[in-house]
């Protein structure tokens, strides 16, 4: 070979392949955009091997090659096995900062950081063994001491005898790529950190609708054992079937570049009910990757629950306000009435301006207002339930009794927000209580009076009874007679009793059967006092009749008749007559016992009437006349319409 051979550019000798064939630089491992260079080198090598005649052409190729080396954007350096640099192209000067003059003959170690000097040994070892060091990434040093990220490919250089005499190095500056990679790495890390740190369930969904990724919080929220439980599964499968159309629509809409949001319920893997706020957006396709989707599912179960609870609590409050038999009002935190108070306004007729602050107390009874305000201020200061009773002037001017209760509402910081109070009209209760009290007093009075009556019955019976046994019988019968009258009165709400009923009920117990009692008279209704007194008289008459009169004989009869008699212009009187017949011959009694005093005097006296008592020899005849204040015609039958309604 003559002239400048291509291999001399690097080493001063031709290059050979592993079989010893001279290849010039044909087997130099040049990568990337140096393909063209490599092709040229191969071509040049082939030419050099086969045709001595083509030396001129080879020389031309070598020059061309030299031009390419000179113009290469990668640093191309050759060195001897002792590490002395033998060639240095322009790219090497740009990369390392050394000019050719500065560096030729220098050790390659000038370019290697001190801590990496050992690399050179292993490189040399490989080169010496005829191996090629493939695109190995390392750090080299700029003239100024700055480290440079590089990719180095080193090939052995052989002389004409095939002896390895040096190495050629192609050094590529990969600082930019490194920086890009670092950026990407950091950006990936950042993204991952963000995804993992999110409290939401984040998922990346592939174009096929299956999960590519789920973050750790998503694993927790979904209550699965790990990402593997869901990654690879269709996203839909995490949802109840009813939600599938919604999911598909969301994906389709996201595909067109929209950010889609929806809320749906889906149980976790363990069946816990959860509500999710879902956002889904497409991750644009890049680097040939198909479109993917980012789904962010936020667990809003608690929020929805508390919203529901709030709605429920509000409607409960509204229902309570409706249901409460009273008016509801609010006061501010310091216990002043502010704002619209429709309930209070409707109750008292006060306007907003009138009830503002403590103006409401103007509607409270003057006697009750000062203690009310005092108690109210105490409750506000103590932050305790307020309970009070006072009188309030209603809009119509009427004083009504109210029970008042008010409770403070606290915020989460335990500060009073406002007071809610209820005024309940207890006037009815007060009246009922007063009435009850009256009834109790009345009952006590009547009971004691009744005891006094019974005492009188006992005492009067004792005076006339000949023996204890007779006393017992008479006493019991008198009480029974009184009880009969009470029974009749009770069935008529104590208004009175029909006379015919009274006669029969009082006399029948004395054996007035078998037609021995004859009653005759119009419907008459005795008022209650008259019923009691007439009942008593009938009882005493019957007692006497059984003992001394008609009913002491088997054939004796008693005829009871009554008429309404009109004496001239006077209002009618009730004339009630008892006539005994068929008994023993009557002799007037010598002694005036209790029974006689009752029938002869007291009943008439009590009822403002008169009595005519005759001891006819054929039988006793008793006639009681009582004034119209003591009786009425029979009350109209229930349901009978008044005449005016018929017209």
Determine if 598 is a binding residue for another protein (CB under 8 A).
yes
Determine if 456 is a binding residue for another protein (CB under 8 A).
yes
Question: 95-99: long-range contacts at Cβ-Cβ below 8 A with a sequence spacing of 24 or more?
Answer: 95/142, 95/148, 95/150, 95/171, 95/173, 96/140, 96/141, 96/142, 96/143, 96/148, 97/142, 97/143, 97/144, 98/143
Binding-residue total with another protein (CB under 8 A) = 28
Of 384 and 529, the one with the shorter C-beta distance to another protein is 529
Determine if 451 is a binding residue for another protein (CB under 8 A).
yes
Determine if 448 is a binding residue for another protein (CB under 8 A).
yes
- With CB under 8 A as the contact rule, the residue among 531, 536, 558, 574 that binds another protein is 536
Q: Which stretch binds another protein (CB under 8 A): 63-71, 342-350, 439-447, 486-494?
A: 439-447
- Residues 135, 169 contacting (CB under 8 angstroms): no
- Report the alpha-carbon distance of residue 568 to residue 577 in Å, rounded: 21
CB of 456 to another protein, least distance (A): 3
Determine if 57 is a binding residue for another protein (CB under 8 A).
no
Determine if 543 is a binding residue for another protein (CB under 8 A).
no
Secondary-structure percent of the chain, ordered helix, strand, coil, rounded to 5: 45, 25, 30
The residue with tokens 């092709």 is 39
- With CB under 8 A as the contact rule, the residue among 179, 441, 566, 614 that binds another protein is 441
Q: Which stretch binds another protein (CB under 8 A): 146-154, 290-298, 469-477, 604-612?
A: 604-612
- Residues 169, 76 contacting (CB under 8 angstroms): yes
Determine if 608 is a binding residue for another protein (CB under 8 A).
yes
- Residues 500, 519 contacting (CB under 8 angstroms): yes
- With CB under 8 A as the contact rule, the residue among 36, 186, 248, 445 that binds another protein is 445
Of 369 and 537, the one with the shorter C-beta distance to another protein is 537
CB of 448 to another protein, least distance (A): 3
SS3 312: helix
Of 337 and 603, the one with the shorter C-beta distance to another protein is 603
- With CB under 8 A as the contact rule, the residue among 388, 594, 622, 631 that binds another protein is 594
> What is the Rg, in whole angstroms, of the alpha carbon atoms belonging to the chain?
63
Determine if 435 is a binding residue for another protein (CB under 8 A).
no
What dihedral angle (degrees, nearest 10) is formed by the CA atoms of 591, 596, 597, 599?
A: -160
Determine if 529 is a binding residue for another protein (CB under 8 A).
yes
- With CB under 8 A as the contact rule, the residue among 87, 533, 543, 579 that binds another protein is 533
- Report the alpha-carbon distance of residue 456 to residue 551 in Å, rounded: 27
- Report the alpha-carbon distance of residue 238 to residue 222 in Å, rounded: 9
Q: Measured between alpha carbons, how far is residue 189 from residues 175, 182, 194, 195, 197 in Å? A: 20, 10, 8, 10, 12
Determine if 59 is a binding residue for another protein (CB under 8 A).
no
- Report the alpha-carbon distance of residue 390 to residue 372 in Å, rounded: 7
Determine if 605 is a binding residue for another protein (CB under 8 A).
yes
Determine if 452 is a binding residue for another protein (CB under 8 A).
yes
Q: What is the largest CA-CA distance in the chain?
A: 194
Determine if 304 is a binding residue for another protein (CB under 8 A).
no
- With CB under 8 A as the contact rule, the residue among 459, 570, 618, 629 that binds another protein is 459
CB of 417 to another protein, least distance (A): 51
Determine if 457 is a binding residue for another protein (CB under 8 A).
yes
- Residues 358, 344 contacting (CB under 8 angstroms): no
Query: Which tokens sit at 151?
Result: 């990719």
The residue with tokens 């008749």 is 561
Determine if 436 is a binding residue for another protein (CB under 8 A).
no
Of 221 and 603, the one with the shorter C-beta distance to another protein is 603
| Cβ neighbour number for residue 513 with a 10 Å cutoff | 8
Q: Which stretch binds another protein (CB under 8 A): 19-27, 313-321, 427-435, 437-445?
A: 437-445
CB of 477 to another protein, least distance (A): 14
The secondary structure of 9-32, three-state, reads HHCCCCCECCCCCECCCCCCCCCH
- Residues 557, 549 contacting (CB under 8 angstroms): no
Q: Dihedral of CA 130/135/137/141: which sign?
A: positive
Q: Which stretch binds another protein (CB under 8 A): 239-247, 293-301, 344-352, 595-603?
A: 595-603
Of 191 and 452, the one with the shorter C-beta distance to another protein is 452
- Residues 322, 328 contacting (CB under 8 angstroms): no
Determine if 464 is a binding residue for another protein (CB under 8 A).
no
- With CB under 8 A as the contact rule, the residue among 242, 453, 483, 518 that binds another protein is 453
Determine if 350 is a binding residue for another protein (CB under 8 A).
no
Determine if 71 is a binding residue for another protein (CB under 8 A).
no
Determine if 629 is a binding residue for another protein (CB under 8 A).
no
- Report the alpha-carbon distance of residue 364 to residue 261 in Å, rounded: 57
* Contacts with another protein, residue ranges (CB under 8 A): 441, 444-449, 451-457, 459-460, 463, 529, 533, 536, 594, 597-598, 602-603, 605-606, 608
């Amino acid at each position: 070979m003559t002239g400048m051979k291509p291999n001399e550019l690097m080493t001063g000798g031709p290059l050979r392949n592993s079989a010893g064939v001279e290849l010039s630089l044909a087997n130099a491992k040049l990568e990337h955009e140096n393909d063209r260079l490599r092709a040229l080198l191969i071509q040049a090598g082939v030419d050099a091997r086969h045709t001595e005649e083509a030396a001129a052409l080879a020389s031309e190729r070598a020059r061309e090659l030299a031009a390419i080396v000179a113009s290469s954007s990668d640093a191309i350096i050759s060195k001897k096995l002792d590490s002395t640099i033998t060639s240095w192209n322009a790219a090497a000067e740009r990369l390392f900062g050394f000019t050719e003059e500065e560096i030729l003959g220098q050790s390659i170690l000038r370019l290697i950081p001190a801590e990496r000097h050992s690399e050179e040994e292993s490189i040399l070892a490989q080169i010496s063994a005829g191996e090629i060091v493939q695109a190995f990434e390392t750090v080299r040093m700029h003239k100024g001491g700055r480290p440079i990220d590089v990719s180095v490919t080193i090939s052995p250089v052989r002389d004409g005898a095939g002896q390895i005499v040096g190495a050629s190095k192609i050094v590529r500056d990969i600082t930019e790529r490194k920086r890009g990679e670092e950026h990407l790495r950091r950006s990936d890390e950042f993204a991952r950190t963000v995804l993992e740190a999110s409290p939401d369930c984040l998922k990346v969904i592939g174009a096929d609708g299956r999960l590519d990724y789920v973050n750790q919080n998503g694993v927790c929220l979904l209550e699965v054992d790990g990402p593997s439980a869901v990654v690879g599964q269709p996203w839909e499968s995490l949802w109840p079937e009813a939600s599938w159309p919604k999911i598909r629509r969301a994906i389709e809409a996201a595909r067109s570049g929209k950010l889609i949001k929806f809320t749906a319920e889906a149980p976790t893997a363990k069946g816990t009910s959860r509500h999710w706020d879902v956002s889904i957006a497409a991750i644009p396709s890049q680097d040939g990757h198909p479109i993917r989707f980012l789904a962010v599912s936020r667990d809003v179960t608690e929020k929805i629950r508390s919203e529901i609870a709030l709605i429920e609590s509000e409607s409960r409050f509204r229902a309570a306000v409706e249901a409460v038999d009273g008016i509801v009002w609010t006061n501010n935190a310091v216990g002043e009435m502010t704002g619209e108070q429709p309930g209070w306004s409707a109750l008292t007729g006060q306007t907003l301006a009138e009830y503002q602050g403590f103006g409401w107390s103007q509607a409270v009874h003057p006697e009750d207002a000062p203690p009310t305000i005092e108690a109210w201020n105490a409750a506000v200061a103590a932050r305790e339930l307020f309970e009070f009773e006072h009188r309030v002037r209603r809009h119509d001017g009427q004083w009504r009794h109210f029970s008042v209760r008010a409770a403070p509402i606290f915020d989460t910081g335990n500060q009073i927000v406002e007071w809610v109070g209820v005024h309940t009209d207890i006037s009815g209760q007060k009246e009922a209580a007063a009435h009850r009290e009256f009834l109790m007093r009345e009952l006590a009075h009547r009971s004691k009076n009744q005891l006094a009556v019974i005492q009188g019955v006992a005492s009067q019976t004792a005076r006339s009874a000949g023996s204890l046994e007779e006393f017992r019988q008479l006493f019991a019968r008198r009480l029974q007679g009184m009880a009969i009258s009470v029974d009749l009165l009770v069935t008529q709400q104590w208004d009175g009793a029909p006379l015919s009923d009274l006669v029969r009920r009082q006399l029948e117990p004395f054996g007035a059967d078998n037609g021995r009692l004859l009653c005759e008279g119009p419907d008459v209704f005795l008022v209650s006092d008259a019923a009691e007194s007439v009942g008593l008289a009938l009882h005493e008459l019957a007692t006497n009749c059984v003992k001394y009169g008609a009913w002491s004989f088997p054939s004796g009869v008693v005829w009871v008749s009554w008429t309404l008699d009109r004496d001239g212009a006077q209002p009618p009187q009730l004339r009630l007559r008892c006539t005994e017949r068929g008994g023993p011959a009557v002799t007037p009694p010598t002694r005036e016992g209790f029974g006689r005093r009752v029938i002869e005097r007291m009943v008439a006296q009590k009822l403002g009437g008169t009595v005519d008592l005759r001891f006819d020899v054929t039988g006793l005849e008793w006639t009681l006349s009582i004034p119209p204040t003591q009786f009425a015609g029979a009350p109209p039958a229930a349901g009978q319409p008044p005449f005016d309604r018929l017209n």
